[in-house]
Amino acid sequence: MERTLSIIKPDGVEKNVIGEVISRFEKQGLRIAALKMVKLTKKDAEGFYIVHKERPFYGSLTDFMSRGPVVLMVLEGENAIARNREIMGATNPAQAAEGTIRKDFASSIEENTVHGSDSPESAAFEIGYFFNAFELCG
Ligand code: ADP
Ligand code: MG
């Protein structure tokens, strides 16, 4: 059993596809262990994406992530980290496989609808960044 952090980004909330995105995770066997909807501050987004602080898109990415509400979730299941990444699709929607969330909903490489942890280490950091022990069910 593994846990991973998933975010429905501001563009996904704006596109009104929260239910559709969650449904894809559930239909593909991932369970929701925690969930909340919040609006991040610019500082919250900067701290979350601290690994990207030297990248040219850091300022724009953290503006985007703090412009409107996001849905934060902990997904749970066997190989949840890799399976979530498969369900999401490639970072750039132009390269995302058919049937993935990013292929179907993302507008651009930046506004790509969902986030998913990329390793056990980042999942541990990211889950702890947003959730405390009382919010993690099961
Ligand atoms: P992923 O979310 O697929 O793990 P990265 O960790 O490489 O991708 O990047 C984090 C986020 O930064 C992406 O999901 C996307 O929102 C944004 N991003 C990545 N590359 C670019 C880029 N070249 N231009 C603008 N935004 C980008
Ligand atoms: Mg990443």
Banded model confidence at residue 119, pLDDT cuts 50, 70, 90: very high
Spacing, Cα 27 to ligand 2 middle (Å) = 23
Extract the tokens encoding 49. 């994406």
Ligand nearest to the CA of 114: 1
Q: Is 26 exposed, middle or buried (0-12, 13-18, 19+ CB in 10 A)?
A: exposed
Q: How distant, in Å, are the alpha carbons of 45, 55, 108, 119 from that of 52?
A: 11, 5, 18, 15
Spacing, Cα 52 to ligand 2 middle (Å) = 9
pLDDT tens digit sequence for 2-48: 999 999 999 999 999 999 999 999 999 999 999 999 999 999 999 99
Ligand 1 atom with the smallest distance to the CA of 65 is 16
pLDDT tens digit sequence for 42-94: 999 999 999 999 999 999 999 999 999 999 999 999 999 999 999 999 999 99
Q: Does the annotation count 115 as an active-site position?
A: yes
Q: What pTM value is reported for the model?
A: 0.98
